[in-house]
Amino acid sequence: MASGSSSITIPEGFTLHTENTSHILISSKDEAFLNPVQEFNRDLSVACIRVWSEESDKDKETKWRQAQDKKAKREAEADQKEQKRPKSEGGQPKPVQSVSGAQGEITLPANEPGPVGKAKEYRPYKFVLLEALSATGLRSIRYAKEIPLVRYVIANDLSASATAAMKRNVDLNGLGPAPDSTEEMVPPDEKTPTRISHGLTLGKVRINEGDACALMYNHRTEKTRVDVVDLDPYGTAAPFIDAAVQAVNDGGLLCVTCTDLSVLATTNYPEKCYSNYGGVPVKAEYCHEAALRLVLNTLSTSAGRYGRYIQPLLSLSIDFYVRLFVRIQSAPIEVKKAASKTSMYYICTGCQSFYEQPLGKMVEKVHERSGSTNRLFKTQVGPPVPQKCTECSSVLHVSGPMWSGPIQDSSFISKVLEHLETNQDKYGTSTRMKGMLTVAKEELNSPFYFTPSRVAGFFHSTCPPLDDVASALLHAGHDVSRSHACPGSLKTNATRQDVHDVFRSWVKKHPVKMEKISDQSPAYQLLGKEPRVEANFKRHPRSVTQSSQVKLVRYQQNPTPHWGPGSRADSGTKRKRDDNEEIE
């Protein structure tokens, strides 16, 4: 077992790569893909899955204790009844004792243990994780070593050379089958159905060679579902999403990477974005947030087909990819709400104002007599805007449909930050993790961010300081936050007209040379309107938040030769590189 790299013998033709707790051998034949730059993605995933597992274990323990208390109470009541029955009917009075449970003081027969005494102690819930596209197995190995509640990880890859590398790496880290194990297959009572377990090794990381979708479809029944699915493909995760949303247990976690940002975050390939994600991308500075919302829309609509819905916990746009963590649950009423969390957006080609067109709405009606709430699901009125932008009269483009609901869960993110606070030394990229998570935690969930410099560009004006713009919006009664997706950006629940009014007020104090502005230009239209209220630029106390103090490291400071999503390894699955998978 490799506890420290010094004790490892490196075979000829291999080099040792160490990331955090784990070591892998890299063959000179380039047989499995590894992108060292993705250490941040793997660190973040270890932390998020760990926090998710500890939180879901706490929930399970609470439910278990409540069930124990209920059971004890039921048994106590049954015994009391028994005592009251006349002896002639076989009633047996018993001496009694009192114990405290969550339900208060419970009276139990003295010779029977109460909830505490009886308690088979609560055993923490150990979970199963499936990494559908594992390559060298580094990610799976780290999960198995660094997340205490992991029962086992199923590490899968289609490529024979990748699974050979994985086997070597799993053994190197001491996570393979026990040396005395004679079994070759996982027993049938395990989560893995026997029909797919052929060739699946035993141990804490169990290797499967096969197609990711076939494996996940084999885990879609309630009995065979796993707790966490991780998709970290080349390019898009789209082909794997239908299978993945079915393979996750209720309350389980789905982690998704997509590196095809030239599809998701530019308008160079709208047709491809539509076929992969069922939505059309945005041409505006907030394209990275739109990319997250497009992927969430795919997850939501795919889950909805199976009576399931998504709860986004953390959605990050990082370097050349997006990484999302969503909880999957089953509940018909929540599935019905999905259309009202989905919108098309009309995006102005002149000033990037956006106009939201939700696809559905939910109307709640409280029944007068019973007080019960009836929920009705309706279509939406539209369009939300005339044919031209009401701010600058430019043409509008349609984008979406995409997810318009919350993209961050601040209470989940706070827990990940708490975990990080006491475990900073456990992650090589903890400074960057803290920065991104702090901004994401405070991020407003309403779309979309803007940068004062870009808006100033539309006005042909000087650029007001970020804090001045934030203060003006706060004084006007709006909320503001930063966005993790773009340094120097602001999010607000104010409309673009409100934001533009702030700039119109700014321009009154910092005049623009109108002689240089054509009367046909968007700037002329923007400047031609009077602000409805004069902005107050005095520093607002809430303009300085925790996240304003974070220097956002959006791009890796020293891009290495591995920068970018990388190309496929020279394996059995090698195919021509898809130009759309890399963002320039």
Binding site for Zn ion (CB under 5 A): 348, 350-351, 353, 389, 391-392, 394
Q: Is 158 in the site for ligand SAM (CB under 6 A)?
A: yes
Span 12-41, contacts to ligand SAM by CB under 6 A: 32-34, 38
Residue 35 or 547: the one with the smaller Cβ distance to ligand SAM is 35
Number of chain positions touching ligand SAM (CB under 6 A)? 23
CB 15, min distance to ligand SAM, A:
16
Q: Is 157 in the site for ligand SAM (CB under 6 A)?
A: yes
Let me know if 510 is exposed, middle or buried by CB neighbors in 10 A (0-12, 13-18, 19+).
middle
What track of x and - describes contact with ligand SAM for positions 34 through 73 (by CB under 6 A)? x---x---x-------------------------------
What is d(CA 281, CA 38) in angstroms, rounded to the nearest whole number?
25
Span 195-254, contacts to ligand SAM by CB under 6 A: 211-212, 232-234
Binds 256, which of ligand SAM, Zn ion, none (CB < 5 to 8 A, cut-off by type)?
Answer: none
Span 532-571, contacts to ligand SAM by CB under 6 A: 571
Residue 136 or 547: the one with the smaller Cβ distance to ligand SAM is 136
- Cα distances (Å, whole numbers) of residue 343 to 202, 346, 352, 387: 46, 10, 17, 18
Identify which range of 22-30, 154-162, 192-200, 520-528 contacts ligand SAM by CB under 6 A.
154-162
55-85: string of b/e by CB count within 10 Å (b at 16+)?
A: bbbeeeeeeeeeebbeebbebbeebeeeeee
Binds 139, which of Zn ion, ligand SAM, none (CB < 5 to 8 A, cut-off by type)?
Answer: ligand SAM
**Residue found under tokens 């600058």:** 392
Q: Is 170 in the site for ligand SAM (CB under 6 A)?
A: no
200-214: string of b/e by CB count within 10 Å (b at 16+)?
A: bbbbbbbbbbbebbe
Span 118-137, contacts to ligand SAM by CB under 6 A: 133-136
Residue 350 or 401: the one with the smaller Cβ distance to Zn ion is 350
Identify which range of 158-166, 263-271, 298-306, 536-544 contacts ligand SAM by CB under 6 A.
158-166
Binds 348, which of Zn ion, ligand SAM, none (CB < 5 to 8 A, cut-off by type)?
Answer: Zn ion
CB 24, min distance to Zn ion, A:
51
Q: Is 582 in the site for ligand SAM (CB under 6 A)?
A: no
The one among 55, 573, 577, 578 contacting ligand SAM by CB under 6 A: 573
Binds 292, which of ligand SAM, Zn ion, none (CB < 5 to 8 A, cut-off by type)?
Answer: none
Contact between 323 and 316 (Cβ < 8 Å): yes
Residue 97 or 567: the one with the smaller Cβ distance to ligand SAM is 567
- Cα distances (Å, whole numbers) of residue 8 to 1, 39, 166, 192: 8, 22, 16, 32
CB 456, min distance to ligand SAM, A:
40
Q: Is 162 in the site for ligand SAM (CB under 6 A)?
A: yes
Binds 350, which of Zn ion, ligand SAM, none (CB < 5 to 8 A, cut-off by type)?
Answer: Zn ion
Q: Is 300 in the site for ligand SAM (CB under 6 A)?
A: no
Retrieve residue 445's tokens.
């969930």
Q: Is 159 in the site for ligand SAM (CB under 6 A)?
A: yes
Residue 522 or 565: the one with the smaller Cβ distance to Zn ion is 522
Q: Is 503 in the site for ligand SAM (CB under 6 A)?
A: no
Binds 391, which of ligand SAM, Zn ion, none (CB < 5 to 8 A, cut-off by type)?
Answer: Zn ion
The one among 26, 37, 138, 502 contacting ligand SAM by CB under 6 A: 138
Q: What DSSP letter does each residue of 239-280 carry, written as one string?
A: HHHHHHHHHEEEEEEEEEEE--HHHHSSSS-HHHHHHHHSSB
Residue 545 or 567: the one with the smaller Cβ distance to ligand SAM is 567
Retrieve residue 33's tokens.
């893909």
Pairing of strands 205-209, 150-157: parallel
Instruction: Verify cis geometry, omega within 30 degrees of 0, for the bond prior to 448.
Output: yes
CB 396, min distance to Zn ion, A:
8
- Cα distances (Å, whole numbers) of residue 198 to 192, 207, 234: 10, 10, 26
Binds 34, which of Zn ion, ligand SAM, none (CB < 5 to 8 A, cut-off by type)?
Answer: ligand SAM
What is d(CA 408, CA 12) in angstroms, rounded to the nearest whole number?
47
Helix residue ranges per DSSP H, 406-491: 410-422, 430-442, 452-459, 466-475
Query: Under DSSP, is residue 526 helix (H, G, I), strand (E, B) or coil?
Result: helix
CB 385, min distance to Zn ion, A:
10
Contact between 407 and 315 (Cβ < 8 Å): yes
Identify which range of 150-158, 194-202, 338-346, 530-538 contacts ligand SAM by CB under 6 A.
150-158
Residue 490 or 569: the one with the smaller Cβ distance to ligand SAM is 569
Retrieve residue 264's tokens.
């998701």
Binds 134, which of ligand SAM, Zn ion, none (CB < 5 to 8 A, cut-off by type)?
Answer: ligand SAM
Q: Measured at the alpha carbon of residue 124, what is the angle toward residues 118 and 129, in degrees to the nearest 5?
A: 150
Binds 158, which of ligand SAM, Zn ion, none (CB < 5 to 8 A, cut-off by type)?
Answer: ligand SAM
CB 358, min distance to Zn ion, A:
21
204 closest CA partner among 230, 161, 173, 180: 173
Query: Under DSSP, is residue 407 helix (H, G, I), strand (E, B) or coil?
Result: coil
Question: For residue 312, what are the β-bridge partners?
Answer: 326
SS (H, E, C) 449-462: CECHHHHHHHHCCC
Residue 229 or 351: the one with the smaller Cβ distance to Zn ion is 351
Residue 326 or 402: the one with the smaller Cβ distance to ligand SAM is 326
What is d(CA 471, CA 477) in angstroms, rounded to the nearest whole number?
10
Contact between 259 and 581 (Cβ < 8 Å): yes
Q: Both ends of the chain: CA-CA distance in Å? A: 41
Q: Is 175 in the site for ligand SAM (CB under 6 A)?
A: no
Q: What residue ranges bind ligand SAM (CB under 6 A)?
A: 32-34, 38, 42, 133-136, 138-139, 156-159, 162, 211-212, 232-234, 571, 573
